Amino acid sequence: MQAYLDNSATTRPCEAAIAAMTDCMREGFYNPSSVYLPSVEAFRRLRSARERILSTVRGSGCELYFTSGGTEGNNLAVIGAVSRMRGRQLVALSAVEHPSVQASFEALKAMGHEVRVIGVDESGALDWAALERALADGASFVSCMQVNNETGALLDAERLHRTVNGRALIHVDGVQGYLRVPFDMKNADLYTISGHKIHGPKGIGALVVRKGVRLNPRQVGGGQEGGMRSGTENTPGIAGLDAAVAELTAMGRDMPEGIRRKKRLLIEGILRAVPEAFINGPDPENAAPHIVNIGFPNVRGEVMLHALEGEGIYVSTGSACSSKKQKVSSVLTAMGIPAARAEWAIRFSLSPHTTEEEINYAAGRIGALYDQLKRFQRR
């Protein structure tokens, strides 16, 4: 048996997305910028997909630009917005952002802007007093992720909006939260999503932009996507994204709670099998429904990961985008977790399609594997 519990790294494309992409490549392959009828139909499908996504984040009146995914969307949001501002800017991001956001701020620093990193507490919650100080010092741009990709810590987007109170632009990286945690564009100026995190294809995403927010494009050419993202649109990718959004939306408002019930089952099974195990980050009931980070004392996460892999159970030690570059999670260390404990961490991430059979199988095997591995702990 297999158990895929790494849905924050990527998700299996749903059948509706695969069918929509296949149909688009076979029958609807036309360039939406051309003027004959089949191309006009392709353009209409793009418009419909745009409108569907905007409706899911209460984005009436907002713009939406299709991108190649979360990284490009974050780059466009951060660098595109700040580079449009006049003069040297003070900009702020949380200490636990995705590498694509961190790299965007490094690019801003290289351009001469001042970057302020806002810390978090042991639960991953933002240091609101530090954010207020940055705003008082004149910060003009703030970026925070909606759901932390390693711990499931949630951003209080309403409090962020109230705290900023119009003094700065707000960018929210919604890649790990979109459709699993409700979001309203009244709380942000820019919001990033990615298709492959919600059972759509890789290579497609979107940036939602509040009307009136000005950006400098990062990709120039033929002027597609309102001039913000030139290049012939990825119509099969957009079709797949649209189908995935439609399918998850059709599951209804109870869908996230269904995932949360499975997460509870997983946590209970693991803690029953390994009483010494502990949760890194927020209380699971006050976190995103699909992510939990668990430490297994005296067994390195990488060792546990490969042992689980041998049993057909797939998990991660942290962000897939940085897992090959670092031994200890920068997210966990930013939360004040000692490096030795952070080394024991495993991230489990679920989806609406995760089954109870997968969870029960994983929890059962983890107990046996841990009993074996802890005998070989380093002394």
Q: In what order do the strands lie in the sheet with 141-145?
A: 63-67, 205-209, 190-194, 169-173, 141-145, 90-94, 114-118
Return the DSSP state at 154.
B
Report the alpha-carbon distance of residue 350 to residue 120 in Å, rounded: 25
Nearest Cα neighbor of 103 from 143, 68, 57 is 143
From the candidates 24, 62, 144, 321, give the one annotated as an active-site residue: 321
Q: Residues 142-163, buried b or exposed e (16+ Cβ, 10 A)?
A: bbbbbbbbbbbbbbebeebbeb
144 labelled catalytic? no
Q: In this structure, are residues 62 and 208 in contact, taking their beta carbons and an 8 Å threshold?
A: yes
Report the alpha-carbon distance of residue 314 to residue 4 in Å, rounded: 5
Report the alpha-carbon distance of residue 71 to residue 33 in Å, rounded: 25
Tell me the CA distances in angstroms from 223 to 39, 58, 219, 231, 339, one per residue in order. 17, 26, 9, 7, 48
Angle at which helices 70-82 and 99-110 cross, to 10°:
30
Q: Which residue has the tokens 């900023």?
A: 164
The 3-state secondary structure of 266-319, one letter per residue: HHHHHHHHCCCCEEECCCHHHCCCCEEEEECCCCCHHHHHHHHHCCCEECECCC
Q: Which residues are marked as active site?
A: 321
